[in-house]
Amino acid sequence: MQPVLSIASLSKTYASGLTALNDVSLDIRKGEIFALLGPNGAGKTTLISIVCGIVTPTGGTVLVDGVDAARDFRMARTRIGLVPQELHTDSFETVWATVTFSRGLFGKPPSPAHVEKVLKDLSLWDKRKSKIQELSGGMKRRVMIAKALSHEPDILFLDEPTAGVDVELRRDMWALVHRLREGGVTIILTTHYIEEAEEMADRVGVISKGELILVEEKTALMKKLGRKTLTLNLADAMETIPAELGEWALTLKADGNELEYEFDANAERTGVPSLLKRMSDIGVGFKDLNTRQSSLEEIFVNLVHKGRGEG
Ligand SMILES: Nc1ncnc2c1ncn2[C@@H]1O[C@H](COP(=O)(O)OP(=O)(O)OP(=O)(O)O)[C@@H](O)[C@H]1O
């Protein structure tokens, strides 16, 4: 199937001489949730801005459903909804007027039915007559999404959708993104929060210093690069790790009641059996044990570190 968005060899060097993007190529599949993960200044916003026609690339092409976005900017832009990082809100307007106006900006004929649907999907229907300034931060954020969806785009960009949002709102936002996808929208989001990518994305791209250093299915990424952590609940708390266990990279947790060991689950020798044997030999008992997959966060930190070279 033709990708809904095809980015090829995209580069951007700003007038300052700073290269924010370097030869980035990426195909986005229809209907997927793609998370673009990267630290501050990695180039995420630059990438989105180019695709949305806000920033002109130095090189490369963007195809929206096979159509060159540079050659046919209007058409490409109509297919895309953008929810920017900052909340720009027209505070004296009502929710209904704001969303209706956004649709008009894209040259779409008025459609109260569509605006109604969007507001209902975003749980804003009851607030349609409220002025934006009367809304809570979370509601304002949803209005931004409603605006971006007002012209019925197929692709929705969410630039850090949950930056500065509390945990509960963040979960609401995740549920909302899933609902939007079920409605057929392809979603590309940028985030610093690994937890967010872990929770939402089908695929993850990692961008560091303007380069896309990795694109993977999330589950494969977590499995492939995933390290595991073994936690042993000790029979007796210990103050320090005995010297006899010095060859394993262990950490003492929970006031000396837990011993943690991180290992490579794919390695031929994980070190787990030998550790357990040594513990038994020296009389360190445990009541329980469990292993868990290392989080995407741990993997990500590792990757960005490698992507930056030896330093
Ligand atoms: N208009 C501009 N002129 C010059 N440099 C810019 C401009 N916009 C961005 N940059 C630089 O380009 C690099 C990438 O910025 P960008 O905003 O794309 O990163 P980001 O990954 O979105 O970061 P953040 O997570 O902080 O939003 C940064 O070093 C930034 O300072």
* Substitution site in 46, 54, 194, 196 for ligand 1 pocket (most atoms within 8 Å of beta carbon): 46
Atom of ligand 1 nearest to the CA of 210: 14
Half-sphere exposure of 23 (CA within 13 A, CB side): 1
- Give the pLDDT confidence of 137-195 residue by residue, as tens digits: 888 888 999 999 999 999 999 998 887 777 777 888 888 889 889 988 999 999 877 77
- Give the pLDDT confidence of 206-228 residue by residue, as tens digits: 888 899 988 989 887 766 666 78
Atom of ligand 1 nearest to the CA of 48: 18
- Give the pLDDT confidence of 37-95 residue by residue, as tens digits: 887 888 999 999 999 888 999 999 999 988 898 888 888 889 999 998 876 666 789 99
| Cα 282 to ligand 1 centre (Å) | 55
Q: CA 171, CA 193: separation in Å to the nearest integer?
A: 13
Q: From the CB of 46, is ligand 1 less than 6 Å away?
A: yes
* Substitution site in 13, 24, 44 for ligand 1 pocket (most atoms within 8 Å of beta carbon): 44
Domains of the chain: 5-223 (3.40.50.300), 227-293 (3.30.70)
Q: From the CB of 45, is ligand 1 less than 6 Å away?
A: yes
Atom of ligand 1 nearest to the CA of 55: 1
| Cα 174 to ligand 1 centre (Å) | 25
Q: From the CB of 14, is ligand 1 less than 6 Å away?
A: yes
Q: Is the dihedral of CA 48, 49, 53, 56 positive or negative?
A: negative
| Cα 218 to ligand 1 centre (Å) | 26
pLDDT attached to residue 310: 40
Whether pTM > 0.80 for this model: the answer is: no
Atom of ligand 1 nearest to the CA of 192: 25
Complex-level ipTM beyond the 0.90 threshold = yes
